[in-house]
Structure 1
Amino acid sequence: MSTGNTNSGTKIIIAGGGTGGHIFPAIAIANALKKADPGIEILFIGAKGKMEMEKVPQAGYKIEGIDIAGFNRSSLLKNIGLPFKLIRSFFQVRRIVKAFAPSAVVGVGGYSTFPVLKLAQAKGIPTFIHESNSFAGKSNMMLGKNATKIFVASDGMEKFFPAAKLQITGNPVREAIVQMHTDRHTASMSFGLDPAKQTVLVTGGSLGAKGINEAIDVELDAFAQNNVQLIWQTGKPYAAKAAARVKGQSNVWTDAFITKMENAYAAADIVISRAGAMAIAELCVVKKPVIFVPFPFAAEDHQTVNALHLVEKHAGIMIKDSEAKEKLVPAVIALSKNEEQQRELQQNIGKLAVTDADTQIASAILKAIK
């Protein structure tokens, strides 16, 4: 994806990251920009030590890291160096922006978005924001006042942003998932599982989910007893514990991270997931019956808001994180035995799918700056 000599003169910085929920849509937008204008030059800016520093180069794009961190709510002592990091990050951003001279800057959320877009706005460079959640993040709200355009996933976002700048596009989904060429049989075999058995995919997002992992761990044997298989993506913190727990169980595949998520979706009959906006966007596209366990500490509890949108449309089931240990596995086993309910959830979640958000965003950016 690196730029050749066919340079169109358009240069775009994409800032943000921290989790797959910010990184994968950012890469989808970059790919769509490249498709619309093959001569475009794209540079990512991310936070040093975060996931984007690995995932963006894997996707074929250049990334510059800056020293930035968020406010640590659990340990106030860890925030002592924060003002210095923030000041240093502004100097780093100024150097990167001066050297690259972008035509526009796109922010997708995450620590690095704020200093990059703030500087771009101060310099009069057009800025674009993608807000994936139904509850806008604070830094995006602050940046929205001076943004050129704000792309959102759902209606009702006027309470966070200037109405005239809003464009409802939905959330960009990775191309591999939109295209999904793998059939269920092949996908099941790639995880060493039996295509004839019901399969549940457990995913807590790119960094894992403690509440979900513990609930699965406690009731793991119930899956084999009910002839159900498990694809269990744990995130790094729980990976070793899960690997030890599943030893000798042929009905479970587990790992910290799934590189080819499209295969996991293709193999799954039912999905257990957090309710981040990007996870929901993907699940709508792949049309799977889902049990959502919203992350309870998300800002303004936006994951519960996200999940309830679907529950109201009979497009998902929701279980609170605090009740997951008692209720999650019994609910999954019950759903695995109720094909009619699976079909209803599948049809209703499929109606909410958006498959061209990345193209809509890319063409709106290029139209605004050319």
Structure 2
Amino acid sequence: MRLLISGGGTGGHIYPALALIEEVKKKQPDSQILYVGTTKGLESRIVPNAGIDFKTIEIQGFKRSLSLQNFKTVYLFLKSVRDAKQIIREFKPDVVVGTGGYVCGSVVYAAAKLGVATFIHEQNSVAGVTNKFLSRYVDKIGICFDDVSTAFPKQKVVFTGNPRAQQVVGIKSSQRLKDYGLQVGKKTVLIFGGSRGAKKINETAIQTAPLFADKDYQVLFVTGQVHYQQIKEKFANIQLPDNFVMVPYIDDMPELLPDIDVIVGRAGATSLAEITALGIPSVLIPSPYVTHDHQTSNALSLVNKKAALMIKEDQLTTQSLFEALDDLLSDEQKRQEMAQNAKKAGVADASDRVIDVLENIMHK
């Protein structure tokens, strides 16, 4: 397979693409793969570091208010489509995949206009602007949440799940908790506000820390690199109990997940793919700062299946966080039921499903 893939801006668009590429390479080792992104997005660092051929185009997103920058955006879009067509003609892909972010808009649109098989993947429960635009031109659309299907032409929609799920589903216990001064085999909570951390979650977590002192479970709290020193200084007067460990960042976070009993964190698509793949009970605190509040919709998709709890950020307090966690950690049956429901909500063979769709549209 000659696969050209594009997506960027955030990890939520990049990591599913990398997971899909990994599975394609396993199943078809002779595949040729090219990733197209921008020089400014996270993909410009993450993709080359993963050893994947990488090319760039210049493009920017539309401003949501009237702005002269939007004239530049239109110009860059038209130019980027021309540049993308040139890349496509040179690489000669069998299929072009877009995983979201405005960069894939030009690439997938160009491919469709050149008659190349095209597929887009929507990770969230609310459709992104780029994917809604592309849905008119592509052959198939992969989704992870049933709710989002109404945003796209019905005949094009395929429920695939998130390829990130298949990437983590086979991870076994690594016993890495001891690397952070925690006990292996003891009930463990992971509090994690995303790769950069989240101020409200951080401040509430550390203020709640003393309440965990006499509990028979332990807490691993990840602040994010940019917040660590500030949190440490601002709350220097709080004595952290022995069963509460604060760290700035964890490399290879998925390796820890099989040893985690409850996760507290955001409701981004990649996080939920990991949580459901491994069947981990969770307390979700959706970010209120994302487009169309899609993390709340993501979270509700699990809450409605009794696979997670949700605390909205404006309702997050030391009391609400402690009560939610203490209730879960003291009720084995409730955790097991939530874990089973989470696993039912996941898709363990998501990459395989996407590859099957790609094979079908390549030979349409």
Q: TM-score, normalised by structure 1?
A: 0.86
Select which of 219, 229, 236 maps to 1:230.
219
Q: Aligned partner of 1:356: which letter?
A: D
Q: Which amino acid counterpart does residue 199 of structure 1 have in structure 2?
A: T
List aligned pairs for 1:113-262, cutoff 5 A. 113-173=104-164, 175-183=166-174, 186-195=175-184, 197-224=186-213, 226=215, 228-242=217-231, 244=233, 249=240, 251-256=244-249, 258-262=250-254
CA gap of 1:196–1:161, structure 2 versus 1, over 3 A, is closer
Residue 346 of structure 1 is matched in structure 2 by 339
Taking a change above 3 Å as real, the CA distance of residues 134 and 329 of structure 1, as seen in their structure-2 partners, is: same
Distance 1:150 1:175, change over 3 A: closer
Once the 2 structures are TM-superposed, how far is the Cα of residue 71 of structure 1 from its aligned partner? 4.1
Structure 1 gaps, min length 5: 1-9
Please list, as runs of the form range in 1=range in 2, the aligned pairs for 1:1-370 lying within 5 A after superposition.
10-71=1-62, 82-83=73-74, 85-173=76-164, 175-183=166-174, 186-195=175-184, 197-224=186-213, 226=215, 228-242=217-231, 244=233, 249=240, 251-256=244-249, 258-326=250-318, 327-370=320-363
Secondary structure class of the residue paired with 2:345: coil
In 2: Cα distance, 1:286 partner to 1:15 partner:
27
* Cα separation, 2, equivalents of 1:87 and 1:213: 42
Q: Which amino acid aligns with 2:209?
A: L
Q: How far apart are the structure 2 equivalents of 1:74 and 1:194?
A: 51
Bigger drift between 18-27 and 258-267 goes to: 258-267
| Amino acid aligned to 1:254 | V
CA distance in structure 2 between the aligned counterparts of 1:345 and 1:245, rounded to whole angstroms: 35
Letter in 2 for 1:15: S
Q: Is the 8 A contact 1:217 1:245 kept in 2?
A: no
- What is the CA–CA distance in structure 2 between the aligned matches of 1:229 and 1:89, rounded to whole Å? 50
- Please report how far the alpha carbon of residue 148 of structure 1 lies from its aligned counterpart in structure 2 after TM superposition: 1.0
Partner in structure 2 of residue 5 of structure 1: none
Contact map agreement 2:305 2:341 (CA 8 A) in 1: yes
Residues 141 and 178 (structure 1 numbering): CA distance in 2 closer, same or farther, change over 3 Å?
Answer: same
In 2, the alpha carbon distance for the partners of 1:195 and 1:207 equals: 26
Q: Once the 2 structures are TM-superposed, how far is the Cα of residue 310 of structure 1 from its aligned partner?
A: 1.6
Task: Tell me: CA distance 1:347–1:361, structure 2 relative to 1, closer, same or farther (3 Å).
Answer: same
Matched residues in 2 for 1:332 and 1:70: separation? 39
Determine if contact 1:215/1:329 at 8 Å carries over to the other structure: no
Report the identity percentage. 35
The one-letter amino acid paired with 1:285 is: A
Letter in 2 for 1:328: L
Cα offset, 1:231, TM superposition: 2.5
Alpha-carbon deviations, 1:113-170, whole Å to 9, x = none?
A: 1111111122222110111122211221111111111111233544211111111111
User: 1-side partners of 2:35 and 2:76: how far apart?
Assistant: 19
Deviation, 1:269, is 1.5
Q: Are the equivalent residues in 1 in contact too, given 2:165–2:350 (CA < 8 A)?
A: no
In structure 2, give the amino acid aligned to 1:41. Answer: Q
2:125–2:144: 8 Å Cα contact kept in structure 1? yes
Q: Report the Cα distance in structure 2 between the residues aligned to 1:95 and 1:214, rounded to whole angstroms.
A: 49
Looking at structure 2, the residues matched to 271 and 106 of structure 1 have their Cα atoms a distance apart, in angstroms, of: 31
**Paired letter, 1:188:** L
AA at the equivalent of 1:217? I
Q: Secondary structure at the match of 2:155?
A: helix
TM-score, normalised to structure 2, is 0.87
1:85–1:217 distance in 2 versus 1, CA, 3 Å = farther
1:226 deviation in Å?
3.7
Deviations 1:268-302 (A, max 9, x none): 11101211222212111111110011112333222
State the partner residue of 1:7: none
2:71 and 2:203 map into 1 onto residues whose CA distance is: 33
For residue 256 of structure 2, give the secondary structure of its aligned residue in structure 1. helix
